[in-house]
Amino acid sequence: MKKTNRFFVALTSMAMAAALLAPSSVFAADTFKIGGIGPTTGGAAAYGIAVRNGAEVAVQEINEAGGINGYQIEFRMEDDVHDAEKSVYAYNTLKDWGMQLLLGTVTSDPCIAVASYAVEDNMFLLTPSGSAVDCVAEDNAFRVCFSDPDQGAKSAEYIGTHDIATKVAILYKGDDPYSTGITESFVGEAPNQGLEIVASDAFIGENTDFKVQLQKAKDAGAELVFLPIYYGPASLILQQAKEIDYSPIFFGCDGLDGILGIENFDTSLAEGVMLLTPFTANAEDEATVHFVEAYEAAFNGLIPIQFAADAYDGIYAMKAALESFGATPDMDASELCDQMKTAMTEITVDGLTGSITWEATGEPTKEPKAVIITNGEYEPM
Amino acid sequence: MNFSTFMSFVSYLKDGISLGAVYAIIALGYTMVYGIAKMLNFAHGDVIMVGAYISLTMMTKTGAPPVVALLVAIVGCTLLGVTIEFVAYRPLRKASSPLAVLITAIGVSYLLQNLALKIFGAGPESIRDEQKIISGSPVVLFNGQLAISRITILIVICIIIIMCALTWFVNRTRRGHAMLAVSEDRDAAQLMGVNVNGTISLTFAIGSALAAVAGVLLFSAYPSLTPYTGSMPGIKAFVAAVFGGIGSIPGAMIGGILLGIIENLAKAYIPSGSQVSDAIVFAVLIFVLLIRPAGLFGKNIQEKV
């Protein structure tokens, strides 16, 4: 009995030791583990699914081409249903899985919540699409998309450099930080771009009548009306401009993306509307065509939206940064994060959403792109 | 004042009238029900939303022409209004506090909103030109300095016709007289042989039919329909009804149009007025009520205790 006992003890302890060693020696050391968080179910599912798909296309391409520094990538997406609390659970699940870098989260509020945990863990965070200013408040956090207010300055830059108009009116939503933030940064940048703001007016709450504001813009001779608002009120503005016989150029930001999706909407009203958006699947450059083909093939003909492109660029940005300091998968999340903070500011990624470089603040620098609505579709300009 | 600033003034005024006419047509429903049933039907705005959804569904699902869709919406809303009155308000008519039925009305309002949310979803729906009750390019006057949309003209014509028809109905028909009697003194009317419940049902039927018309016109003028579309115009219309003197039919119309004009001129001429126009509207309301507590056209009735 004693002998067998001792034998068992020896056997069990050996097995336990092997079990402890196994994960680190067999798995962790030869793949980079990138986690993703975003809503893949619920009302904002379209965004999360696009990010997951876009990231998967990038990961597959990179793995087939030999990986990062010779190591393969494992990507795992967790659902947060666009809920801050669930997003933190998803973050902890991914940490238990052994996540080394985080691509996420997709939406702003959950991203702010997760960022506060990520900074404590010193976990590198790159959000593809969290546009609220506070998403990248910490020095471990970066983003692929423009911040909300930056869209204002970028819109002014686009209008100025492409000589779209000089006399500009603004119609914004006075009780929405998204809208006022963009407006402030637009107004700040406008003089540098030779734009003259001839009228600036707001509306608040659930107002549906904008004829007075439009009439003021018309009387002031505005050639372009800037609409840093969501597509719901914008659809009414387009209608009412037609009613008062006013046809300026309308220019908006990502909030207008979706105007063609309003049920039963007369898309001819939106003809000629321009909006700042980093990506359109109709673009004809080689990278976009290649990406759209791969994406459609992988996901049953689904057309990628800008979130997919942001995620794709996000994965390639991580690759570029990891390669710049010769990272290996046996480095832990905190070690990687320390190196990534500087590496991110030194790389340039020629992505789908433009040629991107990063500031230490986490904000991307890239050329703004815009689309124009033609025959009921977004066409690159 | 040179010609072009004058033309912008005329233009603001015209837009104010068009906005006010929408308020007025909703206010008529409020004021009818209040005047006769002595209750505030806070669900009125949501009946408007239901009317707009019925007409839109008719057009998109069966391809019915706009006029047929409008008629179906009128029938649908009339049935809805009478049902709401029968199920939710009638049992509470004898309740000790008038607050009971007021709170029920708020409950009905949420019920309609949530049902619409369940059936039609939260996303906004729009309407195509050919589905509008009237379409076509705006009427342009003075070399393009003044453009009036056809729907505005139609709304103003509708409101005048409806107001005249209602005034005639209430003052010249037996049913109308019964309404006046119920409004004056419900118990005395009953003793004189007036069918009080029937009269109140009729009032709700008329009010809800008007809501359907208002819904279709509102949706044609502001083509964005969500389950919450009715609530904001509903509140404004309630203000318009109080402004004009609640219970008074011409008062609702004048109140609505004045409200629209004040709101638009505040947006136009007061610095950052478009952000405070609602506050200005309410300030004017308070001022009017201080001078004329019953509203512009309201009758000042002494309550006997």
Contacts of B125 in chain A (CB under 8 A): 262-264
What is the reported pLDDT for A13?
52
Q: Judge if A167 and A231 occupy the same domain.
A: yes
Q: List, in sequence order, the alpha helices (H) in A122-259.
A: 148-161, 177-189, 211-219, 231-243
Nearest residue of B to residue A206, measured between CA atoms: B232
Residue A48 belongs to domain spanning: 27-146+285-366
pLDDT in tens, A172-211: 988 888 888 899 999 999 999 999 999 999 988 778 889 8
What is the reported pLDDT for A377?
85
Domain assignment present for B299: no
Q: Is A13 in a helix, a strand, or coil?
A: helix
A197 vs B298, residue with greater confidence: A197
Domain assignment present for B301: no
Q: List, in sequence order, the alpha helices (H) in chain B.
A: 3-37, 44-57, 66-84, 99-120, 150-172, 174-184, 186-191, 196-221, 231-244, 249-269, 273-291
What is the reported pLDDT for B249?
87
Q: B56–A264: do the CB atoms touch at under 8 Å?
A: yes
What is the reported pLDDT for A3?
47
| Partners of A378 in beta bridges | A373
Domain assignment present for A138: yes
Q: Please, which pLDDT band fits residue B274 given cuts at 50, 70 and 90?
A: confident
Domain assignment present for B1: no
Domain assignment present for B89: yes
Q: What is the CATH number of the domain that holds B30?
A: 1.10.3470
What is the reported pLDDT for A121?
93
What is the reported pLDDT for A20?
47
User: Which of these, A3, A276, A259, A315, lies nearest to A153 by C-alpha position?
Assistant: A276
A175-196: b (≥16 Cβ within 10 Å) or e? ebebbbbbbebbbebbeebebe
Distance CA B302, CA B305 (A): 9
> What mean pLDDT do residues B66-78 have?
93
Q: What is the CATH number of the domain that holds A188?
A: 3.40.50.2300
What is the reported pLDDT for B211?
92
Distance CA B202, CA B81 (A): 10
Nearest residue of B to residue A211, measured between CA atoms: B15
Among A175, A201, A213, A243, most B C-beta atoms within 10 A, so best to mutate, is A243
Q: How many CB pairs under 8 A join A and B?
A: 95
Sorted by sequence, the CB contacts under 8 Å of residue B81 that are 6+ apart come out as: B47, B204, B205, B207, B208, B209, B211
Nearest to B222 among A208, A216, A242 (CB): A208
What is the reported pLDDT for A25?
38
Q: B11–A215: do the CB atoms touch at under 8 Å?
A: yes
**Structural domain total, chain A:** 2
Q: B60–A219: do the CB atoms touch at under 8 Å?
A: no
Cβ atoms of B22 and B220 within 8 Å: the answer is no
A163 lies within 8 A of chain B by CB: no
Q: Judge if A157 and A270 occupy the same domain.
A: yes
Contacts of A201 in chain B (CB under 8 A): 274
pLDDT-wise least confident of B41-50, B65-74, B246-255 = B246-255
Contacts of A244 in chain B (CB under 8 A): 11, 15, 138, 147, 149
Q: Of A246, A277, A308, at which residue does a domain stop?
A: A277
What is the reported pLDDT for B302?
53
Q: Judge if A245 and A329 occupy the same domain.
A: no
Q: A212–B56: do the CB atoms touch at under 8 Å?
A: no
Domain assignment present for A244: yes
- A 184-243 → B contacts, CB under 8 A: 201-209, 211-213, 215-216, 219, 232-233, 235-236, 239, 242-243
Contacts of A247 in chain B (CB under 8 A): none
Q: Judge if A129 and A222 occupy the same domain.
A: no
Q: B15–A203: do the CB atoms touch at under 8 Å?
A: no
User: Hey, what amino acid is at A161?
Assistant: T
Nearest to B60 among A206, A215, A264 (CB): A264
Distance CA A381, CA A284 (A): 11
Among A211, A218, A242, most B C-beta atoms within 10 A, so best to mutate, is A211
State if pTM tops 0.90: no
Domain assignment present for A191: yes
What is the reported pLDDT for A29?
64
> What are the backbone dihedrals phi and psi of residue A16, each rounded to the nearest 5 degrees, phi first?
-65, -40
Distance CA A153, CA A217 (A): 21
Q: HEC profile for A24-37?
A: HHHHHHHEEEEEEE
B292 vs A337, residue with greater confidence: A337
What is the reported pLDDT for A1?
42
Domain assignment present for A374: no
Q: Judge if A153 and A273 occupy the same domain.
A: yes
pLDDT at B20 over 80: yes
Cβ atoms of A77 and A37 within 8 Å: the answer is yes
Q: Of A277, A295, A329, at which residue does a domain stop?
A: A277
Q: Judge if A238 and A260 occupy the same domain.
A: yes
Q: Of A277, A302, A325, at which residue does a domain stop?
A: A277
Handedness of CA B71, B77, B81, B87 (dihedral sign): positive
Residue B16 belongs to domain spanning: 11-291
pLDDT at B248 over 70: yes
A108, with CB counted inside 10 A (0-12, 13-18, 19+), is buried
Long-range CB contacts (< 8 A, 24+ apart) of B172-179? Answer: B175/B199, B175/B202, B179/B36, B179/B203
Query: What averages of pLDDT result for each successive group of 10 residues across chain A (381 residues)?
Result: 49 49 50 94 83 96 94 94 92 95 91 94 94 90 91 92 92 86 92 92 85 90 92 88 89 84 83 89 90 93 89 96 93 93 94 93 90 87 80
Tokens 């007409």 belong to residue: B55
A43, with CB counted inside 10 A (0-12, 13-18, 19+), is exposed
What is the reported pLDDT for A381?
80
Nearest to B268 among A216, A243, A245 (CB): A216
Q: Judge if A95 and A173 occupy the same domain.
A: no
pLDDT in tens, B82-130: 999 999 988 888 887 878 888 999 999 999 999 998 888 777 888 887 7
Q: Judge if A67 and A141 occupy the same domain.
A: yes
pLDDT in tens, B184-218: 888 898 898 889 999 999 999 999 999 999 999 98
Q: List, in sequence order, the alpha helices (H) in B59-195.
A: 66-84, 99-120, 150-172, 174-184, 186-191
Distance CA B218, CA B89 (A): 27
Nearest to B222 among A174, A212, A236 (CB): A236
> What are the backbone dihedrals phi and psi of residue A125, each rounded to the nearest 5 degrees, phi first?
-125, 125
Distance CA A45, CA A186 (A): 30
A255 lies within 8 A of chain B by CB: no
Q: A204–B11: do the CB atoms touch at under 8 Å?
A: no
Distance CA A124, CA A104 (A): 10
Q: Please, which pLDDT band fits residue B301 given cuts at 50, 70 and 90?
A: low
**Structural domain total, chain B:** 1
Cβ atoms of B88 and B63 within 8 Å: the answer is no
Contacts of B222 in chain A (CB under 8 A): 208-209, 236, 239
pLDDT in tens, B258-273: 999 999 898 888 877 7
